[in-house]
A and B are shown apart, each in its own frame.
Chain A
Amino acid sequence: MTPEMKGFLLLTVIKLIVVFTVIMTGVALLTLMERKVSAWMQNRMGPNRVGIAGLLQPAADGLKNILKEETYPAEANRVLFLLAPALSFIPALLLAAVIPLAAPLPVDFAFTLGPLGAFAYHGLMPVQVADLPIGFLFVLAISSMGVYGIALAGWSSNSKYSLLGGLRASAQLISYEVAMGLSLIPVLLLSGNVSFSVIIAEQQRGPWYVLPLFLSFFVFLVSGFAETNRLPFDLPEAESELIAGYHTEYSAMKFSMFFIAEYANVVTVCMMVATLFFGGWDIPFIHWDESGGVLPTIVTGLIFFLKVFFWIFFVMWIRWTLPRFRYDQLMSLGWKVLLPMALAYVMVIGLATYLIGDVAHIASPVTRGLILFALNLVLGCGVFLVLDRGNVVSGSERRRVPGRRAAPLRVGG
């Protein structure tokens, strides 16, 4: 093995450990954030007893879950019952490995470590565990593995609530994956590559993709909510209907693993949104961040963190605001609205890029982006006008939603 290969391996292991630690700590802090955000929206204090401002609450929760008794329902399929939390936990953690967290860091070292031999690395180190050439395809592939954990958990628990939750989850995740995958095709069309680093580089040259591909962003965000089982799409664990859905029968650490997986999925989706549509670690309008160096890496890392943080907050904001969909409404939203929309959008963007690039010969990514943005303004307004007519939700009779006193009132005596 050459010293360069060993150096690469060493860095990868370090990055693995760092990313894993960051994600796990982040997830723990997210549970606290969720409670604090909800408390803020509901005029409450939130947890504030454990540690300063409740900062140790996640640790206390984790400790509690580790110390709790592991219970198994009678006649549960033990093997699958044990396997299911791991099956949903592992893909959730794998996903964060391919997303670039900051600008590439220039690394230059060469040293010898006893019997292990020489280690060396020269050049820019991408701040991600693996800069996969298949980029977001990997994310889509691995994220669809998560459904096995949930479906198996629902089936192996030997409980009707769990079974219904598991079935709902499988149907929901599979349906929304289609829309999610299709919504990313325009990104591929514009950037010409599925690799995250190329997508970020393309967004540095032109506008962030949220402008030229707004509808893609919208479809991706909605399917992202559905993929993470968060309200308004939390039917698999619909608390008021199915107690806790697929993890009704789970206790202690096994339950915690579902919980961690959910939050890790939220982090991944928010990272994807930030990377694919908001320029990743890019700071807009300046090129200092691409100059390379330790300081740009730190600053861009912070910028990326801020973007992800905003989208995580957005997810929580939605969760504590909206009611839950009904199962058939969820399905019709996925198959009848989002899927055709994403499909049509692929064609529109394909045609537009062809016209702009090959017919009008506009090579500048900025001009191209702005033209597409204008197109999206028109399309977006049209789509939202259609969606807002009450069509989203099937099974509801279309009804004028009047003001407060519109129910006919009998006045006086």
Chain B
Amino acid sequence: MSIRTVEMALSTPGLDAEGRPVQVPLGVGGRDTAESRIPGHYDEDFGAEHMLVNIGPQHPATHGVLRLVLELEGETVKRCIPHIGYLHSGFEKLGEYRQYNQIIPLTDRTDYLSPMANNVCLALAAEKLMGIEITERCRVLRVIACEMSRIISHLVWLGTTGIDLGAFTPFLWSFQERERIYNLQEAWTGARLTTSLTRVGGMMADIPDGFEAGLREFTRTFPNTLREVDTMFTRNAIWCGRTQGVGVLTAAEAINYSLSGPMLRASAVDYDVRKDRPYLGYETYDFDVAIGEHGDIYDRYRIRLEEMFQANRILEQALDRLAALKGAPLNVDDPRLILPPKRRAMSDMEAMIYHFKQVMEGIKPPVGEAYMGIENPKGELGYYFVSDGSAKPVRWRIRPPAFINLASLPKMCEGALLSDVIAINASVDIVMGEVDR
């Protein structure tokens, strides 16, 4: 083997001494000559043992701008090196210059397949920092937001994974359902992506008229589509062959890689934040958590499918509670946290003062720190705040489930085939907005 290592060859191409862009070589592990020992020297690639294939950042199956460099021997993957950062936006740093409520729009753009759940997590983290107890109706609405997000995210996952494995039709079936739930989300928040649904101590908006009926109709008919997809995939010999026993992670490996969410549960580790560190009163809802046995793609698929059924169950229960809480207050009754109604702010002296202070100064939490983790569709999403008592956090840190889950990709791809890499990558369920932040 020559000393030309994959890392050297595959570092994001820079410029050579003469200012020309350095090319990624065709192969590695070729002849071991005196020249090939010189660092940075590329002799001709003829005779290389392994071929290097660059997948991404504009490949149809990398779900965004992930770049994978594969060292192939035939079609067998010897090494897989993910390159990330193409979508880096510096959200965490941006958050340090914003008041807590102003950070919420940033969370929309991290995991852009479940913006509502991100909003909820941020509000919860800020409330934990400030020691605020939210109202019961707000809790129920946030549960609805979280579970809607779970369904949206898993539907996208289901469809795109189907496409990655060659099945196109279920993609459109699941996107049709996603469209229905997006319409509901749009009616509630006014946006399909940048929802910014929550505020510290409450919600940005109450649900509109007809939302409950629409969501009920959705929960009634949605499982039918899921069952159709179930029929298409679960017992399909080709699907089973492509997914069973591929990308296996044992329970110990999954824990060591710090995985969370469906990835972790597929490896037979029984951990769900909703059950183990309940928030928003999840302990009072009746739902099951699917646990896999084999830790392969198939189990991840089964678990995500089951989670959609369970999310549907939770939505039904939450809707029942919402009906019982009709007319109950939505936001906390604290003028220092919640903006007064516009009409009063313009006519009432006291309301105007509170409005002014909130807008100009922001909400000031006590000195301290807080971490809030919730069960996002992709795993445990955590927001960590350090506060020095000012209206802006000193440090805002995201625990991005997709990024941490993605770290296990090279391990799973080792020894797999080229087609498996695509399937494994799909099963991780990454969103590059969250990975690169």
B75:A321 contact, CB within 8 angstroms: no
The CA of A326 and the CA of B240, in the complex, are separated in Å by 11
Say whether A284 faces chain B, with CB atoms less than 8 Å apart. no
A241:B61 contact, CB within 8 angstroms: yes
A239:B60 contact, CB within 8 angstroms: yes
Say whether B169 faces chain A, with CB atoms less than 8 Å apart. yes
A38:B168 contact, CB within 8 angstroms: yes
CB A263 to nearest CB in B, in angstroms, measures: 18
A413:B275 contact, CB within 8 angstroms: yes
Given known A320-B168, A408-B293, A412-B286, contact A240–B245 (CB-CB < 8 A): no
A399:B244 contact, CB within 8 angstroms: yes
B169:A323 contact, CB within 8 angstroms: no
Say whether B288 faces chain A, with CB atoms less than 8 Å apart. yes
Say whether B238 faces chain A, with CB atoms less than 8 Å apart. yes
Chain A interface residue count: which class? 35 or more
CB B6 to nearest CB in A, in angstroms, measures: 15
The CA of A410 and the CA of B307, in the complex, are separated in Å by 12
A410:B275 contact, CB within 8 angstroms: yes
B241:A396 contact, CB within 8 angstroms: yes
The CA of A59 and the CA of B232, in the complex, are separated in Å by 34
The CA of A326 and the CA of B286, in the complex, are separated in Å by 40
Say whether A117 faces chain B, with CB atoms less than 8 Å apart. no
The residues of A that contact B241 with a CB separation of less than 8 Å are 325-326, 329, 390, 392-396
Q: Which of A23-74 contact B (CB under 8 A)?
A: 38, 41-44
Given known A404-B306, A407-B293, contact A321–B166 (CB-CB < 8 A): no
B242:A410 contact, CB within 8 angstroms: no
Q: Which of A352-368 contact B (CB under 8 A)?
A: none
The residues of B that contact A409 with a CB separation of less than 8 Å are 288-291, 306
B306:A407 contact, CB within 8 angstroms: yes
The residues of A that contact B291 with a CB separation of less than 8 Å are 407-410
The residues of A that contact B292 with a CB separation of less than 8 Å are 407
A395:B245 contact, CB within 8 angstroms: yes
Say whether B165 faces chain A, with CB atoms less than 8 Å apart. yes
Q: What residue of chain B has the Cβ atom nearest to residue A240's Cβ?
A: B61
Per-position contact with A for B371-399: 1 when CB-CB < 8 Å, else 0? Answer: 00000000000000000000000000000
Say whether A324 faces chain B, with CB atoms less than 8 Å apart. yes
CB B247 to nearest CB in A, in angstroms, measures: 12
Given known A38-B168, A234-B166, contact A396–B173 (CB-CB < 8 A): no
Say whether B419 faces chain A, with CB atoms less than 8 Å apart. yes
The CA of A412 and the CA of B26, in the complex, are separated in Å by 55
Say whether B191 faces chain A, with CB atoms less than 8 Å apart. no
A411:B419 contact, CB within 8 angstroms: no
The residues of A that contact B134 with a CB separation of less than 8 Å are none
CB B426 to nearest CB in A, in angstroms, measures: 8
Given known A231-B166, A320-B168, contact A392–B237 (CB-CB < 8 A): yes
Say whether A160 faces chain B, with CB atoms less than 8 Å apart. yes
The residues of B that contact A385 with a CB separation of less than 8 Å are none
B245:A397 contact, CB within 8 angstroms: yes
Interface of A is mostly: loop
Per-position contact with A for B151-171: 1 when CB-CB < 8 Å, else 0? Answer: 000000000001111111100
Say whether A309 faces chain B, with CB atoms less than 8 Å apart. no
- Which listed residue, A164, A324, A411, touches B166 by the CB 8 Å rule? A324
The CA of A388 and the CA of B232, in the complex, are separated in Å by 16
Per-position contact with B for A133-165: 1 when CB-CB < 8 Å, else 0? Answer: 000000000000000000000000000110010
Per-position contact with B for A152-181: 1 when CB-CB < 8 Å, else 0? Answer: 000000001100100000000000000000
Q: Which of A367-413 contact B (CB under 8 A)?
A: 388, 390, 392-397, 399, 401, 404-405, 407-413
Say whether B339 faces chain A, with CB atoms less than 8 Å apart. no
Say whether B418 faces chain A, with CB atoms less than 8 Å apart. yes
A323:B162 contact, CB within 8 angstroms: yes
CB A280 to nearest CB in B, in angstroms, measures: 32
Q: Which of A316-331 contact B (CB under 8 A)?
A: 320-329
Given known A407-B293, A407-B303, A413-B283, contact A393–B169 (CB-CB < 8 A): no
Say whether A7 faces chain B, with CB atoms less than 8 Å apart. no
Say whether B3 faces chain A, with CB atoms less than 8 Å apart. no
Say whether A207 faces chain B, with CB atoms less than 8 Å apart. no
Say whether A238 faces chain B, with CB atoms less than 8 Å apart. yes
Q: Which of A52-105 contact B (CB under 8 A)?
A: none
The CA of A390 and the CA of B242, in the complex, are separated in Å by 12
Say whether B2 faces chain A, with CB atoms less than 8 Å apart. no
CB A384 to nearest CB in B, in angstroms, measures: 12
The residues of A that contact B232 with a CB separation of less than 8 Å are 321
Say whether B36 faces chain A, with CB atoms less than 8 Å apart. no
B169:A41 contact, CB within 8 angstroms: yes
CB B130 to nearest CB in A, in angstroms, measures: 28
Q: What residue of chain A has the Cβ atom nearest to residue B223's Cβ?
A: A404
The CA of A232 and the CA of B165, in the complex, are separated in Å by 10
Tell which of B242, B246, B417 has the most Cβ of chain A within 10 Å.
Answer: B242
Say whether A188 faces chain B, with CB atoms less than 8 Å apart. no
The residues of B that contact A393 with a CB separation of less than 8 Å are 237-238, 240-242
Say whether B66 faces chain A, with CB atoms less than 8 Å apart. no
Q: Which of B161-203 contact A (CB under 8 A)?
A: 162-169, 172-173, 176
Say whether B258 faces chain A, with CB atoms less than 8 Å apart. no
CB A229 to nearest CB in B, in angstroms, measures: 12
A241:B238 contact, CB within 8 angstroms: no
Say whether B53 faces chain A, with CB atoms less than 8 Å apart. yes
Say whether B51 faces chain A, with CB atoms less than 8 Å apart. yes
Q: Which of A92-130 contact B (CB under 8 A)?
A: none
Given known A238-B166, A412-B286, contact A401–B238 (CB-CB < 8 A): no
B245:A241 contact, CB within 8 angstroms: no
B166:A322 contact, CB within 8 angstroms: yes
A327:B240 contact, CB within 8 angstroms: no
Say whether B222 faces chain A, with CB atoms less than 8 Å apart. no
Say whether B270 faces chain A, with CB atoms less than 8 Å apart. yes
The residues of B that contact A322 with a CB separation of less than 8 Å are 166-167, 236, 238
Say whether A243 faces chain B, with CB atoms less than 8 Å apart. yes
The residues of A that contact B162 with a CB separation of less than 8 Å are 323
CB B421 to nearest CB in A, in angstroms, measures: 8
Q: What residue of chain A has the Cβ atom nearest to residue B305's Cβ?
A: A404
The residues of A that contact B293 with a CB separation of less than 8 Å are 407-408
The CA of A410 and the CA of B288, in the complex, are separated in Å by 6
B169:A42 contact, CB within 8 angstroms: yes
B165:A323 contact, CB within 8 angstroms: yes
The CA of A413 and the CA of B418, in the complex, are separated in Å by 41
B173:A43 contact, CB within 8 angstroms: yes
Say whether B422 faces chain A, with CB atoms less than 8 Å apart. yes
A411:B236 contact, CB within 8 angstroms: no
B168:A241 contact, CB within 8 angstroms: no
Say whether B86 faces chain A, with CB atoms less than 8 Å apart. no
The CA of A408 and the CA of B54, in the complex, are separated in Å by 39
Say whether B309 faces chain A, with CB atoms less than 8 Å apart. yes
B230:A164 contact, CB within 8 angstroms: no
Given known A240-B164, A397-B244, A407-B299, contact A323–B239 (CB-CB < 8 A): yes
CB A332 to nearest CB in B, in angstroms, measures: 10
- Which listed residue, B242, B244, B270, B309, touches A323 by the CB 8 Å rule? B242
The residues of A that contact B53 with a CB separation of less than 8 Å are 160-161, 164
Per-position contact with A for B67-91: 1 when CB-CB < 8 Å, else 0? Answer: 0000000010000000000000000
CB B238 to nearest CB in A, in angstroms, measures: 5
The 8 listed contacts between A and B (C-beta, < 8 Å) are A42-B169, A240-B166, A327-B418, A392-B237, A393-B237, A393-B241, A396-B240, A396-B241
5 closest A-B pairs by CB: A324-B166, A393-B241, A42-B172, A240-B61, A323-B167
